[in-house]
Amino acid sequence: MVTLEESYDICKGLNKHFEKGYYFLSGLLPPEKRRHIYALYGLYRYAKEVGDKSASASPEDRIESLESFSERFFTDLGTGLSEEPVLMAAIDTIVKFDIPKEYFGRFLNSMKMDIERSTFGDFSELSRYMDGSAGAVGEIVQAVLGVSSDLAIENARELGIAIQLTSFIRDIPTDLDRQKIYIPQDEVEGFGATVAFESRKPNDGFKELLKFEIARIRELYERSKAGDKYFDQSAEKCISAIRSLNSQILDRIESVDYDVFSVRVQVPALNRLRVFAGARLL
């Protein structure tokens, strides 16, 4: 069996391998907080792998695997200990920071919803999904970063949701490959963008749809700034850098005239270094 420190190292490795951008920005945090963020990412990645299982697995099998994992996770959380390599560090972190159990219930429920659904009728339906997939994640992370006021919790949710919505519009082609569309169907149809999703070529309606989506996301990013003042300096630097880099994804989508089908938009490495360096100097 691995030791607790080895479990933290495993989670760090998962973060470095799968989310290099966030791993890089976590360097703005003190080492003690950084390792706990790694542990929470390890939990997310583990649960995602369980839910995804394999391309050939039926939705019923994937849900069964996810429910089995959830049962093990909450059993371990109840005892405060786990023998599973990734969960050891995650459980230790959750107990240490007294993170509410219900956050993880919402998070795991959203993973189940993601297996069950391929589209969302309107933004209200999508919001119910994002409550766990992004909102709860924001709440979980802020519990580790530490805030001086509960007023920051809603802003953490808004930032998490804005980041996920940014990914949804950037990743439209790859999500289509998985038979998924996260943009609300009433908005797709209302802007006359259905044919663009079918042909994977942007028409005028698709461009207007993305303009609408980007405006909503930018409003969420702006509102989320209100919570920054409740974090300590290191956490505020990290959050500000994450917001800046994700906002630049929106800028780059606009710069390619909303053609996310032809190129997967990325923030250049030099820009990432500038944001990191700028945050270090604050």
Report pLDDT digits (tens) over 235-262: 899 999 999 999 999 999 999 999 999 9
Which pLDDT value is given to residue 273? 81
Neighbours of 62 (CB within 10 A): 20
Nearest to 243 by CA among 220, 266, 264: 220
Name the pLDDT band for 23 (thresholds 50, 70, 90).
confident
* Residues 77/104, Cβ–Cβ less than 8 Å: yes
For residue 281, pLDDT over 80 is answered with: no
In degrees rounded to 5, what are phi and psi of residue 266?
A: -140, 155
Mean pLDDT for 2-17 is: 95
Which pLDDT value is given to residue 146? 86
Which pLDDT value is given to residue 274? 84
* Residues 96/32, Cβ–Cβ less than 8 Å: no
pLDDT in tens, 82-137: 999 999 999 999 999 999 999 999 999 999 999 999 999 999 999 999 999 999 99
Same fold, 1-116 and 117-282: yes
Mean pLDDT for 17-27 is: 86
pLDDT in tens, 123-181: 999 999 999 999 999 999 999 998 768 888 899 999 999 999 999 999 999 999 999 99
CATH T-level fold of 1-116:
Farnesyl Diphosphate Synthase (1.10.600)
For residue 29, pLDDT over 80 is answered with: yes
CATH T-level fold of 117-282:
Farnesyl Diphosphate Synthase (1.10.600)
**Does this model's pTM top 0.75?**
yes
For residue 54, pLDDT over 80 is answered with: no
Which pLDDT value is given to residue 78? 96
Neighbours of 12 (CB within 10 A): 20
Mean pLDDT of the chain: 92
For residue 278, pLDDT over 80 is answered with: no
Both tokens of 154, joined, read 């809603």
Domain limits, the chain: 1-116, 117-282
Percent of the chain with pLDDT strictly greater than 90: 77
* Residues 227/151, Cβ–Cβ less than 8 Å: yes
Query: Angle at the Cα of 209 (from 22 to 215), degrees rounded to 5?
Result: 55
